[in-house]
Each structure stands twice: as C-alpha cells, then as structure tokens.
Amino acid sequence: MESRSQGHVGSLSASKAPFPGSAADQVDDSTLSPVSAILHAYWRSDRRLLLIVATVVMISSASSVAAPYVFSGLIDRLPRGEGMSAFAWGFAGYAVLLGIASALQRTLQYLSFMTAENLGFIAATRFFDRILRKTSTFFLEHNPVEIQSAAARGCSALTTLVQLGIMIFIPAAAQLLLTLAILGVLVNIQIAAIVVAYGAVAITLGWSSTRRARVFLDRAIEAGQENARFVGNVMNSMDTLRHFGSHSWMSQRFTMKAREVRDNWRTYVFQRLAYIAVLGLAIALQFAVTLLLLIPEYRAGAVTIGDIVLFNTLLLQLNMPFEMVARAISDAARSRADLIPLARLWVAPEERRTSHAHDFTPSAGQLSFEGIGYAYDNGRGVTNVSFMARRGAITFLVGETGSGKSTIFKLVLKSIEPDCGRILVDGTDIATIDHTDWYAAVAVVPQDVMLLNESLADNILLGRPRDEVRLRGASKKAAILPIIEALPEGFETTVGERGLKLSGGERQRIAIARALYGEPAILLLDEASSALDERTERDILDHIRSLAEDVTVLAITHRKGVISTTDVVVELTDCGLSLT
C-alpha cells in the first residue's frame, strides 16, 4: 500500500481549466447559448401574450400611418366645398384613428412591461438553477457579488433585447413599409427613393458608430464586473482588512476601477454625440432635397397641398423609425455586452452527471483508495494514494500542510475526479454512483463551516424534512443541544451573516449536527473539532468513535493528540504513506 503526495505533478490538463479553451474566445459564440435557452422558455410560457402584442403593434402602426393619410385627403377636399356633414364624419374618423393609435401605444407599453417581468423571472430562475449545478472550482473563482451583478445585468439586457424586438423592430418595420408604400404610390416614387436612401445612411451610420463605440462599452462593463468581484471579496474579509488598516488601499482600488468605468462610459457617450450630430445633418439634407423636388411638381399640379402636408407628416414620422432602428442597433450592442458576464458564468462547466449510474445503497461502508492520483491546474495534488477506511474505528488522515488531505476529501465527495486510480465503496466505483445517491450516503463537516443567516434548525436541516427527534438527537451527539435549549428562541434563533452571532466552536458543533442529522453511512471530518476546547473536542470525538461501529469515519487532523490507540492513522508524506 503506497502513496505519495506531491508538490508538482505533471502538466496542466486542459479539461480542468475553469473555462475550457479561452474564455474570451468562447463567449462570443456562447452568448447565444443562454439567450436561446431563455428565449425558448419565454416563448413557450408567453407565446399567447406575445402574439397579442404583435397584433396590437401592427394595428397601432397602421393607424398612425393611416391618420395623416385621412387628414391630407380631408384638406384637399376642403376647398371643393363638399357637404359639411361629410367633413364632420371625415374629421371624426381622423380623430378616432388618432385616439386608437395613442391608446394602443400606451397599451403596448403596459403589455410589454408585463411580458418583460415574466422574461426577467424566467431568466433569473434559469440562471440560478444553472449556478446551483456548477463545479466546486467555479465557486473558487467567482464570488456572490460578482455572480449577482452578472445576473442583474444579463437579465436586464435580455429584457431590453426583447423589448427592442417588440417595441422597436416590429413597429418600425411595419411603419416603414406602410409609409413608403403611401409615399411611392401617392406622392412620388423619387421621394420614396430619397427616403429609402436616407434611411440606409441613417442606419449604416448608426451601425458603424455603434461598432466604434462598443469597445469602450465592453471595457466599461468588464471594469464594472471586476469592481463587483472586488467588492464581494472585500465584504467577505471586511474585519481582517480593517484590522490591517487596508481602508485606503481598498478605497483606492475601488476608485481606480470605478474611474475606468466612468471614463469608458464618457468616451462612449462622446462617440454617440458625434453620431447624433452627423445624423442631424443628414435629416436637414433629406428635407431640403425632397422639398426642392416637390416645388416644381406642385407648380405643375402633379401634387396637391394635401399631398405636401401628407408628405411632410410622413417624412417627420419616418425619421422616428429610422432613428429607432439605429438606436436599437446601439441598444442591442449594449445588451450584448451586458450579457457577456452572465454568458461566461452560464457556460462554465457543471458537475458531471453520472451516466449509467447504479442505484446505490451502502452496506458495510468500506472505502478503498486504489492508486489514486490527481493534479490541479498548477500541477500540485496527490499521486498514487492507496488505503482503506473501515468501520469500527476512526481513520485519521494526517500529514504536513499541503500534503493532500483536503484533496482526498474532495475526491471522496466527487467535487473532483481522479486522474488515475479508483475509489471503491463496498466494491462499487464511486464514479458510477449518482451524485444524489452519493450525497445521501456521505456527510462532511468542513474546516470552514458555512452557515446561512437563518434559524439554527434551518442551518442543521438545510432543506431536509424536519424530524424533531432526529434534530434533537443529532444536536445532542454534536454537544450543542444544551446551548440551543438555553436560548430564548431555541432552534428558531437566527445565527447572523455567515453565523457570526455564534462562536467558532458553536458553528462547528452545528456543522457536526447537520452532518449527523442525515444518518450518513460515511462521515468526513475536516479538522471538525479544531475550534473546540480540549474537553469538548475529546467528548465529541469519543462520541463519534462510538458511532464508528455504524458509520465509516474518515477524519483530517493536525493535532495528533486527539488520536487514540484504537484509531487508524493514514499519513500522507512526500515519500510515502504509512498506516498505524
């Protein structure tokens, strides 16, 4: 039986990089992956409402084009002195059309708000669900503030994209087609051509200016995301940073990044302002040229006053869809940049599901390591580890710092998979056991106890069905029951952010109760009692020793004093492994 832990093992395996391939290269393609998954779910959920919205958009666009057309016809008929009642009806029709257009516009705003809310709900819940399936490495690389910031930006970007489609592209396209048809048929095909040319210039200008401005936008978003990551780290270590007088360092770093965000946004805005000025010039040219073309036609009697009024109104009205399309291109680019952080997190590798998983129920709970090797990205890890942990005694893993004890735990917990060798439980390779079955059989008490700012009971149960007898039993075994019972609110007492209202020892006891509540077949203790006073530590370990008849206990410790003569010791060293 031989094992060796090693500082430098082999070279980096590509599959272990947090984002296989270059993350930056991947993101452009992969931005589509969350977008299409979310939009697909959104379409399934809101398709009826979306169809209603599209219909309302079409009617509203048609009535806003029809209104000036009706008005110009009435103006032309006015000097001909037709009966007043015909005019009254005509103007009434015009008024109704205006009313319909305005009411539908407002209705659209509320309908699109309603569907955007549902899109936000779908995007946020799907994203959260993906995050829950990420690998342990993912949570080493990303902190909560960063994840939250990416989610908020990404969800709002998706909503913007859908709103652009519903509120901009569809109405703009409908309005453009209808207006051009009226201009071409009723006024002058030449003028319709000028309008099309202007539109092409406006949209091309918008597109190219967006491309140029986008680099600043991307930089601003990236710097904002880095700042969110920094804030997350600072919040997690606020006390330590304060004790080391790091206030001005934190403040300077934050200000530097925030300045980068602001400066990039500023440059972005200047680029957009230049575009707006050029667009204004193009509008002036368009109006000047087309009006000059119309004057001789009017003199020749080819167009009427009503046609000129209609032309002016439609042209003014047309500028809006062109501008809307150009602005939509810019907003779409901004949304795309906003989506990148979310997409990056979305496509990060997830925990692998076991294919052809066996149904697993542990019996003797015998854990065998057979020639296990694992190297992290930096080449460190463990090589050729072989040992066995059985019931009847605690198996202690000991060894110098960095010798690979926690890595062994990560392997048992299936947070990482061995590069070589097998871990067997009662003869079954754990690689073939489904994660859910495995997590039901194994419990861990980590070195850094994670507590939620919820009640003590919630922290022990963590979502498992509540059984009072088991809850009290597990708390008793973890030597925390008397402390809980002495609290005015007992199990319902909340523990504060990260459990900071409890002492280190109390937090560890809660973690032990949490592990024992599930009545596991295998119990992993990662320095589980190091924060306890000597007597309590001895009491708890004695108690766990008595449980070791029914549970396989594998424990990491640095304190050899807690090991009794009945325990088994596995020592990880640079030159091998020894058993006692």
Ligand X SMILES: Nc1ncnc2c1ncn2[C@@H]1O[C@H](COP(=O)(O)OP(=O)(O)OP(=O)(O)O)[C@@H](O)[C@H]1O
Please work out the total of residues on this chain that contact ligand X, with binding judged by CB under 6 A.
15
Tell me the one-letter amino acid at 167: M
Q: How far is the CB of 385 from ligand X (least distance, A)?
A: 11
Q: How far is the CB of 137 from ligand X (least distance, A)?
A: 7
Q: How far is the CB of 403 from ligand X (least distance, A)?
A: 4
Q: How far is the CB of 352 from ligand X (least distance, A)?
A: 17
CB nearer to ligand X: give 33 or 406. 406
User: Rule CB under 6 A: which of 125-154 touch ligand X?
Assistant: 140
Q: List the one residue from 76, 376, 390, 569 that touches ligand X (CB under 6 A).
A: 376
Interface segment toward ligand X; rule CB under 6 A; list 32-40, 115-123, 252-260, 378-386: 378-386
Enter the tokens of residue 22.
């270059």
CA dist list (Å): 195 to 190, 313, 412, 543? 9, 13, 70, 86
CB nearer to ligand X: give 138 or 216. 138
CB 460 within 8 A of CB 513: yes
Interface segment toward ligand X; rule CB under 6 A; list 158-166, 185-193, 370-378, 472-480: 370-378
Alpha-carbon dihedral angle through residues 432, 381, 553, 449, given to the nearest 10 degrees: -100
Q: How far is the CB of 39 from ligand X (least distance, A)?
A: 35
- Return the number of other C-beta atoms located less than 10 Å from residue 222's C-beta: 17
∠ CA 365-368-371 to the nearest 5 degrees? 165
CB nearer to ligand X: give 419 or 458. 419
As to burial, measured by CB atoms within 10 angstroms (0-12 exposed, 13-18 middle, 19+ buried), residue 433 is: buried
- From residue 5 to residue 34, what is the string marking binding to ligand X with x (rule CB under 6 A)? --x---------------------------
380 touches ligand X by CB under 6 A = yes
CB 434 within 8 A of CB 354: yes
Compute the 3-state secondary structure of the chain and give helix, strand, coil in percent, each to the nearest 5. Answer: 65, 10, 20
Q: How far is the CB of 444 from ligand X (least distance, A)?
A: 13
CB nearer to ligand X: give 261 or 553. 553
CB nearer to ligand X: give 212 or 559. 559
Q: What phi, psi does 26 have (nearest 5°)?
A: -70, -35
CB nearer to ligand X: give 17 or 173. 17
Q: How far is the CB of 8 from ligand X (least distance, A)?
A: 9
Interface segment toward ligand X; rule CB under 6 A; list 176-184, 372-380, 424-432, 438-446: 372-380
CB nearer to ligand X: give 492 or 574. 574
DSSP result, 178-238: HHHHHIIIII-HHHHHHHHHHHHHHHHHHHHHHHHHHHHHHHHHHHHHHHHHHHHHHHHTH
Q: How far is the CB of 355 from ligand X (least distance, A)?
A: 26
Q: How far is the CB of 555 from ligand X (least distance, A)?
A: 12
Q: How far is the CB of 439 from ligand X (least distance, A)?
A: 20
CB nearer to ligand X: give 7 or 496. 7
CB nearer to ligand X: give 7 or 10. 7
User: Rule CB under 6 A: which of 305-364 touch ligand X?
Assistant: none
CB nearer to ligand X: give 319 or 529. 529
User: 107-115: long-range contacts at Cβ-Cβ below 8 A with a sequence spacing of 24 or more?
Assistant: 107/56, 108/53, 108/56, 108/57, 108/60, 108/166, 108/167, 109/167, 111/49, 111/52, 111/53, 111/56, 112/53, 112/163, 112/166, 112/167, 114/49, 115/46, 115/49, 115/50, 115/53, 115/162, 115/166
Interface segment toward ligand X; rule CB under 6 A; list 79-87, 304-312, 371-379, 452-460: 371-379
Interface segment toward ligand X; rule CB under 6 A; list 152-160, 318-326, 338-346, 400-408: 400-408
CB nearer to ligand X: give 381 or 499. 381
Among all chains, which residue has been given the structure tokens 């601003």? 220
Q: How far is the CB of 515 from ligand X (least distance, A)?
A: 18
- Burial code (b: 16+ CB inside 10 Å, e: under 16) for 168-196 equals bbbbbebbbebbbebbbebbbeebbebbe
Interface segment toward ligand X; rule CB under 6 A; list 53-61, 64-72, 373-381, 489-497: 373-381
As to burial, measured by CB atoms within 10 angstroms (0-12 exposed, 13-18 middle, 19+ buried), residue 497 is: exposed
What's the CA gap between 121 and 561, in Å, rounded?
54
**What's the longest Cα–Cα distance across the chain?**
117
- From residue 401 to residue 420, what is the string marking binding to ligand X with x (rule CB under 6 A)? xxxxxxx-------------
CB nearer to ligand X: give 167 or 397. 397
Give the distance, in angstroms, between the CA of residue 448 and the centroid of all CA atoms in the same chain.
26
**Where along the sequence are the contacts to ligand X (CB under 6 A)?**
7, 140, 376-378, 380-381, 399, 401-407
